[in-house]
C-alpha cells in the first residue's frame, strides 16, 4: 500500500540494478529465479513481486553507495544485506508514494558524514509522514533508511529535499 506524501522513497536506480545483477555488493553474481508465490519486496520498483516474475536476491550496501557519491565515510555503520530486485531491466516505481507501510518499520536517521543519529519505530501507515517530517526537522539528518523490523532488511531511502 502506497500513501500520498511529500517525502519520496528512492528505489535502487536502473544503473545500480545493472551493476548488482553482474556482481552484487558482496562481489557475487546474481542468481535469478522465477518467483512462484510473489510478495517479495522489490527495491528497484518499490512494490511486491508478482507470481511468475524473475527476481534475484542480492547483497546491497545502501549507505556505502550513498557515501561514495557524497564523500562521507560511514566507518563501522557501513553494512550490506539482502534485497530482492528484478532479474532484468526494471521500469522503476509506478508512483511517488511511500511503499511497504503495511507492517512495523524502523526509520533509521543518518548524518551527512554517514553516522546513525537515531531511529524510530513506525507501526501504522498514517504515521510514516509525521515520522519523516520529524526526522528531517533535525538539520543534522541527511537521509533516512526505512527498514523491516522483523528481519532488519533495508527497504528504501528517503533523502532531505
Please report how many Cα atoms fall inside a 13 Å half-sphere around the Cα of residue 22, on the Cβ side. Answer: 6
Task: Determine if the pTM surpasses 0.75.
Answer: yes
Mean local confidence (pLDDT), 32-44? 97
Q: How far is the C-alpha of 12 from the C-alpha of 25, rounded, in Å?
A: 13
Q: In whole angstroms, what is the distance from residue 89 CA to residue 82 CA?
A: 19
Taking residues 128-140, what's their average pLDDT?
95
pLDDT at 1: 45
- How far is residue 63 from each of residues 52, 58, 112, 159, measured CA to CA in Å? 31, 15, 11, 12
Check whether 30 has a pLDDT greater than 90. Answer: yes
The mean pLDDT value for 20-27 works out to 97
Q: Residue-wise over 45-64: b if at least 16 C-beta within 10 A, else e?
A: bbbbbeeebebbbbbbbbbb
Query: What is the band of 160 on the pLDDT scale with cuts at 50, 70, 90?
Result: confident
Helix, strand, coil distribution of the chain in percent, nearest 5:
20, 30, 50
Give the integer Cα–Cα distance in Å for 122 and 146: 10
Amino acid at each position: 500500500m502506497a500513501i500520498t506524501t511529500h517525502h519520496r522513497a528512492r528505489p535502487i536506480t536502473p544503473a545500480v540494478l545493472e551493476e548488482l545483477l553482474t556482481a552484487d555488493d558482496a562481489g557475487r553474481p546474481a542468481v535469478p529465479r522465477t518467483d512462484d508465490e510473489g510478495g517479495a519486496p522489490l527495491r528497484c520498483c518499490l512494490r511486491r513481486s508478482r507470481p511468475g516474475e524473475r527476481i534475484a536476491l542480492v547483497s546491497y550496501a545502501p549507505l556505502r553507495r550513498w557515501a561514495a557519491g557524497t564523500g562521507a565515510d560511514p566507518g563501522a555503520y557501513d553494512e550490506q544485506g539482502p534485497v530482492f530486485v528484478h532479474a532484468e531491466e526494471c521500469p522503476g516505481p509506478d508512483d511517488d508514494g511511500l511503499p511497504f507501510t503495511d507492517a512495523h518499520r524502523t526509520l533509521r536517521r543518518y548524518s551527512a558524514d554517514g553516522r546513525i543519529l537515531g531511529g524510530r519505530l513506525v507501526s501504522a501507515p498514517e504515521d510514516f509522514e509525521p515520522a519523516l517530517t520529524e526526522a528531517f526537522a533535525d538539520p543534522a539528518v541527511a537521509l533516512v533508511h526505512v527498514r523491516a523490523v522483523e528481519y532488519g532488511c533495508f527497504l528504501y531511502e528517503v533523502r532531505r529535499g
